A = this chain, B = another copy of it.
């Protein structure tokens, strides 16, 4: 049973229909109607010690920040802003109070930065290791919300930032390497990701975007979700994928495949979105103002996510289906 099968199991046993539930299981957040003009977004993410983080190298304050950041990224991906944060914390019997103080300070800092507040939660003993679950409630204007299921054939596919940095950072942490500026950048991407909250808000307000989501499990899996839910396919070009210059050399030095990091690494918390090609120049203008945006391919009527290993416009390069080749918690 893989992650998608588990989600499907629960999707089919969801209880009564509620009229206010505009979007349930299957997007970055659930969307709940508050009044005619407003929706609330609800997301929930769990980080487990030894699975999602390692206290040997993850400073507690950065983990506090990251716990919120990954949830804020989900709220951003639907065009919203976070309001209220709820924390359920599982701690082993002999947890370190100093660790907890630093963790809470990092979380509080991030609450200030993203303009939201800790409003409740639960504290329990875990059987082993630290387990951090956050629920974040956000808000979005009803006419600005962006879903995964609205990509259309002819749309172009865009991503923010550069990809594969967090995967590189994780690998560097695992190998206990620190070194120069480049490595520090990758490591920081893993330890302390920055969700694209402002950019996402601008994109949602622009009216240019058809479908959007955040990149948490890797482009190969996340874009496949977007395509599946929109009933479309995507073609992306390896030569267009935005990659930091030193990523390839770092990967080579470590005996790793950098394209694997870019496509399947996960935890980049960048945005992937689709927009009709008539808005390409509008988006380019917006990109200049608020950050780095790259067109990586287009949506068509075929199925899945197909990678062309090369540039667009060249004949005879085969398309390779990479759908759902990103991170899966339960893949054997």
Interface residues of A (CB under 8 A from B): 1, 3, 6-7, 9-10, 13-18, 20-21, 24-25, 29-30, 32, 34-35, 42-52, 83-91, 93, 95, 97, 100-101, 104-105, 107-108, 111-112, 115-129, 131, 133, 135, 137, 329-330
Contact = CB atoms under 8 A, between A and B. Distances in A.
20 contacts: A1-B100, A3-B123, A7-B123, A13-B104, A15-B112, A15-B117, A16-B112, A21-B84, A30-B120, A32-B137, A35-B35, A42-B84, A42-B120, A44-B87, A46-B133, A49-B127, A52-B124, A125-B329, A127-B128, A128-B129
Task: From A7, A30, A45, A105, name the one whose CB has the most chain B CB atoms within 10 angstroms.
Answer: A30
A292 to B, nearest CB: 28
Given A15-B111, A51-B126, A46 B90 contact: yes
A330 B16 contact: no
Contact of A90 (B1, B34, B48, B86): B48
How many copies, total?
2
A14 B119 contact: yes
Contacts of A46: 88, 90, 122, 124, 131, 133
A15 B108 contact: yes
Nearest to A107: B13
B90 A15 contact: no
Contacts of A1: 95, 97, 100
Contacts of A16: 111-112, 115-117
B42 A90 contact: no
A120 B46 CA distance: 13
A152 B123 CA distance: 29
